[in-house]
Structure 1
Amino acid sequence: MKIFLNGYMGAGKSLLGRQLSAVLNYNYVDLDEQIELIEQTDIQSIFKKRGELYFRNLENKVLRDILEKEEDMVVSLGGGTPCYGDNMKWIKEVSGSKTVYLKATVQTLTDRLFLEKVHRPVISHLQTKPELEEFLRKHLFERAYYYNQSEIIVDVDNRDPEQIVNDIVEKL
């Protein structure tokens, strides 16, 4: 089985993906980390030097490589991965795959992301919390269509990671 965690940046995909893979004894893959290994630089530098289109094309290629692997794994997708091209369709077509939407409110995401926005290329230009909140509200609205196609939806607001992982395991 392949379990794909999706949701907006700051929802906890990487943290929860590592914990979930340990509980299930599955391999763990973080899509962004795979891209950084291939490019030998961080996501922020890829965006800055090559642009978002280059990043999305590379992301698509790495995702397709993961989809072809015949092993149990937990995959943390990038926040935009399900929203581009046919990525979500391809993920859902994989035999034995499950998609999990880690759903966080705009307020939770704003609180989590404001202090680390400098490391997030999509939001690094935003200066104030109200600007960030407005951006997140609009962006989350645009992406909700894709996220909500997930078979499993788990609220992550005000919850301990262990509770969230247990919730996901129960729903699998």
Structure 2
Amino acid sequence: MKIFLLGYMGSGKSYIGKQLAVSLGYEFIDLDEEIEKKENSSIPEIFERRGEVFFRKIERQMLEEVIQSGTSLIISLGGGTPCYGDNMELIKQAENSTSIYLKLKVENLTERLFKEKDQRPLISHLEDKEKLEEFIRKHLFERGFYYNQSQHIINCDSLSPEEIIREIKSRLG
């Protein structure tokens, strides 16, 4: 079984994914971390040196490798992974798998991300919460079409990590 976690940056994909993997006895993979290992560079460095097209090509290759793996996995996707090419179709068609969108309101994402924006190159240039919220709102509008194709959508706004994990497990049956 492969469980794909989708959502915007700051939605908890990696944190929840690690906890869920331990709970289910699955291996955890953060797709962005796998790309960084393979390329021996950080995502921002890859974007800067090689460009987004190169990054998306490597991302697609890694996604295909993960899907073809025979291992039971929890996969934390990059926030943009489902939105490029036909990645979402590939995820939806993967055998013995499910996709889960960890959904949060713009306001909650803004609060979370503002605290850690200096560690996130995509938003580090945004000076205040208003600009950050506008950025997130625009991105979520663009990405929502893809995220909402997930087999399961969990509204995480008022849930603790433990409650999110319980909800995921209940939906898995």
TM-score class, shorter-chain normalisation, is: over 0.9
Secondary structure at the counterpart of residue 123 of structure 2? coil
Identify the range of structure 1 (117-126 vs 2-11) with the bigger mean alpha-carbon deviation.
117-126
User: Residue 88 of structure 2 aligns with which residue?
Assistant: 88
User: Residue 45 of structure 1 aligns with which residue?
Assistant: 45
Q: How high is the TM-score relative to the length of structure 1?
A: 0.96
Give the C-alpha shift of residue 55 in structure 1: 1.4
1:118 equivalent in alignment to 2:113: no
Q: Which runs of 4+ in 1 moved over 4 A?
A: none
What CA distance in whole angstroms lies between the structure 2 residues aligned with 1:75 and 1:48?
25
Secondary structure at the counterpart of residue 63 of structure 2? helix
Equivalent pairs, count: 172
What CA distance in whole angstroms lies between the structure 1 residues aligned with 2:63 and 2:123?
23
What CA distance in whole angstroms lies between the structure 2 residues aligned with 1:53 and 1:124?
22
User: Residue 131 of structure 1 aligns with which residue?
Assistant: 131
Q: Which amino acid aligns with 2:143?
A: R
What CA distance in whole angstroms lies between the structure 2 residues aligned with 1:44 and 1:30?
16
Cα pair 1:114 1:132 within 8 Å, conserved: yes
Give the C-alpha shift of residue 33 in structure 1: 0.8
Give the C-alpha shift of residue 163 in structure 1: 0.6
Cα distance change, pair 47–118 in 1 and its aligned pair in 2 (3 A)? farther
Q: Percent identity?
A: 53
Q: Specify every segment of 5 or more residues in structure 1 that has no aligned partner in the other structure, as ranges.
A: none
Q: How high is the TM-score relative to the length of structure 2?
A: 0.95
Q: Specify every segment of 5 or more residues in structure 2 that has no aligned partner in the other structure, as ranges.
A: none
What CA distance in whole angstroms lies between the structure 2 residues aligned with 1:121 and 1:58?
19
Aligned CA-pair RMSD: 1.1
Cα distance change, pair 166–73 in 1 and its aligned pair in 2 (3 A)? same
1:26 equivalent in alignment to 2:62: no
Cα pair 1:6 1:147 within 8 Å, conserved: yes
Counterparts in 2 of 1:1-172, with a 5 A limit?
Answer: 1-172=1-172
Q: Which amino acid aligns with 2:87?
A: N
Give the C-alpha shift of residue 43 in structure 1: 1.5
Cα pair 1:47 1:121 within 8 Å, conserved: no
